[in-house]
């Protein structure tokens, strides 16, 4: 059995002498649940110490089954014509924020999460981890469709906001995921998978 020191964030703590402020991960949660709206503002510890670094790894549970509607951002970018990419994303982002959390599409929910983090912890460096491939397991048939789309959305949003994006799918692929995921559904990284994620963050 492995303990938290074998996770990507445990490696960060151990190898860089960092101190854990809050681990606000919930097993099985999704952006669609809406719980992130309060959890994003609860990353300071009981002493009021706020985080210097926030690592966001969210979305694989939203992908489960048929996936949550990825939203319109990618379509807007694909059909932007002569508009600049940043202008398209900015107009979309301003529209998302104006909804004040009343969103249903996945890209809007992800953008709302990042807005809340930046608003609550403006001095923190945010790192967003993209989703890994899972080998298109029979009980997770939508992975090949949704994972790339979710990752494209994350990259577009983080590029616009100046947030670091870690492309996990570059190192954990359909071909090698069986070696880096510990469960039969290939959803959760094992110790070797967590090490790869840590190295990509570095």
Q: Is this prediction's pTM over 0.75?
A: yes
Q: Is the dihedral of CA 145, 151, 156, 157 positive or negative?
A: positive
pLDDT score for 77? 96
| Mean pLDDT, rounded, for 87-100 | 95
- In this prediction, residues 111-116 reach a mean pLDDT of 96
Q: Read off the pLDDT of each residue in 178-201 and give the average, rounded to a whole number.
A: 83
pLDDT digits (tens, 9 = 90+) for 16-59: 999 999 988 887 788 888 888 898 999 998 888 999 999 999 88
> What Cα–Cα distance (Å) separates residue 164 from each residue in 42, 47, 56, 155, 202?
21, 28, 10, 9, 11
CA dihedral 173, 168, 192, 54 (to 10 degrees): -160
- State the chain's mean pLDDT as an integer: 87
| Exposed e or buried b per residue across 45-55, where buried means at least 16 C-beta atoms within 10 angstroms of its C-beta | eeeeeebebbb
Residue 185 pLDDT > 80: no
| Cβ atoms of residues 80 and 73 within 8 Å | no
Q: Higher confidence at residue 173 or residue 92?
A: 92
- Is 103 a residue whose pLDDT tops 60? yes
Q: Residue 65 has what pLDDT?
A: 55
The DSSP result for 99-119, as a single string, is TTT---SHHHHHHHHHHHHHH
Q: What is the pLDDT of residue 184?
A: 60
pLDDT tier at 93 (50, 70, 90 boundaries)? very high
pLDDT of residue 72: 94
Q: Which residue has the higher pLDDT, 43 or 178?
A: 43
Do residues 94 and 86 make contact, with C-beta atoms less than 8 angstroms apart?
no
Query: How far is the CA of 140 from the CAs of 1, 24, 31, 179, 190, in angstroms?
Result: 26, 26, 18, 17, 18
């Amino acid at each position: 059995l492995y303990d938290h020191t074998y996770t990507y964030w445990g490696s960060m703590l151990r190898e860089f002498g960092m101190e854990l402020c809050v681990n606000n991960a919930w097993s099985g949660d999704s952006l669609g649940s809406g719980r992130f709206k309060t959890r994003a503002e609860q990353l300071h510890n009981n002493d009021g110490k706020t985080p210097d670094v926030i690592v966001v790894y969210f979305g694989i549970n939203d992908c489960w089954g048929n996936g949550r509607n990825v939203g319109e951002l990618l379509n807007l970018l694909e059909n932007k014509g002569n508009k600049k990419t940043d202008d398209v994303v900015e107009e979309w982002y301003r529209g998302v924020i104006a909804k004040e959390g009343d969103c249903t599409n996945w890209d809007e929910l992800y953008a709302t999460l990042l807005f809340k983090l930046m608003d609550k912890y403006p001095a923190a460096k945010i790192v967003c981890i993209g989703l890994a491939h899972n080998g298109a397991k029979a009980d997770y048939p939508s992975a090949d469709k949704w994972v790339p789309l979710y990752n494209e959305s994350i990259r577009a949003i983080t590029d616009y906001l100046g947030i670091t994006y870690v492309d996990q799918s570059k190192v954990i692929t359909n071909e090698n995921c069986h070696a880096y995921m510990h469960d039969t559904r290939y959803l959760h990284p094992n110790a070797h998978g967590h090490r790869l994620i840590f190295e990509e963050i570095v």
